Amino acid sequence: MSKISGRDIDTMIGSYRINIEEASLSIEDGTGTTKTRGVPDGFIEGDVSASGEIKLNTGQFQIIVEAAKEAGSFRGLPTFDLVFNAETTDESINVEAFDCKLSLSDVLSANQSNERLMHTIKYEVTGREFVNINGVPYLRSEEIERLN
């Protein structure tokens, strides 16, 4: 049985295909329990946010540098959709994060070992479509339908 590993993940940042060393996406969901007289009696949905980071070697980081050059600066980069896709004969996963705003975190991470030079880029999900996992949206359609 063929399982998915980190090496199976293909990553797209907008129209750029990037080979990542590491990637993460975390969702913060502010849904909380309601209580009456200290006893749980339901829940209230709260705010949601999502963010993550990608770690790239220098060759792959240069793709982002070129995109920033086209935009005039790193802060001038437009938002990008991030798509993480992996598939084996037995498993598959597709995670989409919409309108992600990139920001440089660790511009340079070097040490005395023979490991490759690494660069870390953080991102915040800013799109109302938010996150889809295998085509299933995290948010209900009625949560976003009246947003401008």
Over the chain (148 residues), the average pLDDT of each successive run of 10 is: 78 85 95 95 96 94 93 94 90 94 89 85 96 97 84
Domains of the chain, residue spans: 6-135
Per-residue 3-state assignment (H helix, E strand, C coil) for 29-64: ECCEEEEECCEEEEEECCCEEEEEEEEEEHHHHHHH
Comparing C-alpha atoms, which of 71, 65, 69, 80 is closest to residue 15?
80
Q: What angle do CA 29, 43, 130 make, to 5 degrees?
A: 25
Gap between the Cα atoms of 21 and 95, Å rounded: 17
Query: 6-135 has which fold?
Result: Pnp Oxidase; Chain A (2.30.110)
| Mean pLDDT, rounded, of the chain | 91
What is the pLDDT, as a whole number, of residue 98? 96
pLDDT one-digit tens code per residue, 59-75: 999 999 999 999 999 99
What is the pLDDT, as a whole number, of residue 24? 95
